[in-house]
């Protein structure tokens, strides 16, 4: 009966020697070291013009040149077929004011340069009832402006007319893989 025990010990030692990165438990048995689990990369929306929670420069408002701010996109999840972007102000009197609505943005987009929209993207109707960016222009006080980026598992269909935020949100329902947000504040002088 000693012979099988010797064979088991020899086999265990051989396995331990072959797997040098494995750990050895207190009873001498080789325990494989688990492979590190990759940490998922968070989808991010940032701007070189302002930090999250920071002041939006007047250049990007009705007090300045009313240009859309530069935005950077990273961490797009696998399987993303299109991106959508909504900028709104929940502090507007009465209702949330929609400043910018874009959809069917190419998922390979990593940057939206100042004052532009990505090629091939489509625009929705903002609260001024026009297509395109309309910068912060609060009547009073400090307002928060949320730039929300959505990674979608499908391109959105073409609409007969440029969609409102509500119509776009309905079309995105059930297609959102991830979401990122950048918030800036602005107060008129």
At 147-170, the pLDDT tens digits run: 999 999 999 998 999 999 999 999
Local confidence band at 80 (pLDDT 50, 70, 90 cut-offs): very high
Quick one: pLDDT at residue 188?
A: 87
Quick one: pLDDT at residue 34?
A: 59
Quick one: pLDDT at residue 8?
A: 46
Residue ranges of domains in the chain: 2-31, 44-187
Class of domain 44-187: alpha beta
Quick one: pLDDT at residue 41?
A: 74
pLDDT tens profile 37-60: 655 679 999 999 999 999 999 999
Quick one: pLDDT at residue 49?
A: 98
Query: Strands across the sheet with 142-152, in order?
Result: 122-123, 97-105, 82-89, 142-152, 176-187
CA angle at 111 for the pair 109 and 112, rounded to the nearest 5°: 100
pTM tops 0.75: yes
Q: How far is CA 14 from each of CA 10, 35, 45, 70, 101, rounded to the nearest angstrom? A: 6, 21, 51, 59, 63
Alpha-carbon torsion 81, 86, 90, 93, what sign? Answer: negative
Average pLDDT over residues 92-107: 96
Average pLDDT over residues 115-122: 95
Instruction: Report the greatest alpha carbon distance in the chain.
Output: 91
Dihedral pair phi/psi, residue 85, rounded to 5°? -135, 130
Q: How many Cβ atoms from other residues are within 10 Å of residue 150's Cβ?
A: 23
């Amino acid at each position: 009966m000693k012979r099988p025990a010797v064979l088991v010990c020899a086999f265990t030692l051989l396995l331990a020697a072959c797997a040098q990165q494995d750990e050895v438990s207190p009873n001498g048995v080789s325990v494989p070291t688990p492979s590190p689990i990759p940490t998922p990369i968070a989808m991010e929306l940032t701007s070189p013009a302002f930090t999250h929670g920071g002041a939006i420069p007047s250049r990007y408002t009705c007090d300045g040149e009313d240009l859309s701010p530069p935005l950077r996109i990273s961490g797009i999840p696998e399987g993303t077929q299109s991106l959508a972007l909504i900028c709104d102000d929940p502090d507007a009197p009465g209702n949330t004011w929609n400043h910018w609505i874009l959809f069917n943005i190419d998922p390979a987009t990593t940057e939206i340069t100042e004052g532009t929209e990505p090629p091939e993207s489509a625009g929705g109707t903002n609260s001024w009832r026009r297509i395109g960016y309309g910068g912060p222009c609060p009547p009073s006080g400090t307002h928060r402006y949320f730039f929300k980026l959505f990674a979608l598992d499908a391109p959105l269909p073409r609409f007969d007319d440029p969609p409102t935020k509500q119509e776009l949100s309905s079309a995105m329902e059930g297609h959102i893989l991830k979401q990122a947000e950048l918030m800036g504040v602005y107060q008129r002088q």
